[in-house]
Amino acid sequence: MAAIAYRQRALTLDGALAAAALGGMVLFRGGIPAAGSLLAFFISSSALSRLGQRRKASRPIAQAKGVRRDAWQVLANGGWATLCVALGQRRAFVGALAAASADTWATEVGVLGGRQPRLITTLRRVAAGTSGGITPEGLAASLGGALVVGLAWSLLGGGRRDGRRRQQSWQCDLLVAASAGLGGSLADSVLGATVQALYHCPRCSAETEEPVHRPCGQPTRLVRGYQWITNDTVNALATLAGAAIGGLIC
């Protein structure tokens, strides 16, 4: 699957190697339910990343690394989930993966939405794609992304491994996915609006998440947050929050 994703330009080479390593561990420790949930997240997120690609690239703040995910992005989105399933913490695994899926869906759909987002901390209007910006469409998409993971886990029998009856399993799986997904996605937005690094390009007056504005090659100036807190750092913290929420439910 990693090789196919690399050929389809969804992953860089180091991203494909990282995905193969994490995916192998997830399959080995979590079986088909865990591997299926991981694939449901990756395939749906990659498809959404390619949806309206030209329109996304024209936004004032576009994804700094583009559509292809590198090893750091793979680890930021799937590292905690892999650790959780390796330790036998299945609910935390679902929570971490649901948070990653919810955040990715919210970002990809929110950028394409016609409504101007509002910053989650102050509710002032910001440019589409700004970290910390939220829209009703994005929130709905985050719930959808989380439920994709929960449904894949439940349909493949993941919850029934814990000894619950079928109805209890479905209810708990979806509750874990929805709660952890929304919670992790909102945590991502709060971190993105407060501590994530935001830079200003003096040449074209654009805001970016990178210390060098790639379209014009101009070094940028830090205007908010901390230089070491990148988008990957925020994603890792958000999935950690999702793992914590998932581990506490049911």
Judged by average pLDDT, the poorest of 109-118, 161-170, 222-231 is 161-170
DSSP assignment of 208-219: ESSSEETTTTEE
In this prediction, residue 66 carries a pLDDT of 58
Q: Which two tokens mark 250?
A: 């049911």
> Quick check: 12 pLDDT over 90?
yes
Q: Which two tokens mark 101?
A: 């899926």
Average pLDDT, the chain: 87
Is the residue at 210 inside a domain? no
In this prediction, residue 62 carries a pLDDT of 46
Give the pLDDT band (50/70/90) at residue 49.
Answer: confident
Helix (H/G/I), strand (E/B), else coil: 224: strand
Give the pLDDT band (50/70/90) at residue 80.
Answer: very high
Rounded Cα distance, 111 and 103, in Å: 12
Is the residue at 71 inside a domain? yes
> Quick check: 189 pLDDT over 60?
yes
In this prediction, residue 115 carries a pLDDT of 79
Q: In this predicted model, what pLDDT tens digit does every residue of 97-146 receive, in sequence order?
A: 999 999 999 988 877 766 788 999 999 988 777 888 899 999 999 999 99
Directed axis angle between helix 13-50 and helix 136-155, to 10°? 120
Is the residue at 142 inside a domain? yes
Is the residue at 114 inside a domain? yes
Give the pLDDT band (50/70/90) at residue 58.
Answer: low
pTM attached to this predicted model: 0.89
In this prediction, residue 157 carries a pLDDT of 87
Give the pLDDT band (50/70/90) at residue 57.
Answer: low
Residues linked to residue 199 through DSSP beta bridges, in sequence order: 208, 222
> Quick check: 163 pLDDT over 80?
no
Average pLDDT score over residue span 180-185? 96
By C-alpha distance, which of 238, 144, 234 is closest to 183?
238
**Count of domains for the chain:** 1
Is the residue at 212 inside a domain? no
> Quick check: 40 pLDDT over 80?
yes
Average pLDDT score over residue span 77-90? 95
Average pLDDT score over residue span 218-229? 90
DSSP 60: S
Average pLDDT score over residue span 87-92? 94
Amino acid identity at 69: R
Q: 35 lies in which domain range?
A: 2-196+228-248
In this prediction, residue 44 carries a pLDDT of 92
Q: Could you give the C-alpha distances from 192 to 54, 87, 111, 171, in angstroms and in order?
A: 24, 29, 15, 31
Tokens 């650790």 sit on residue = 83
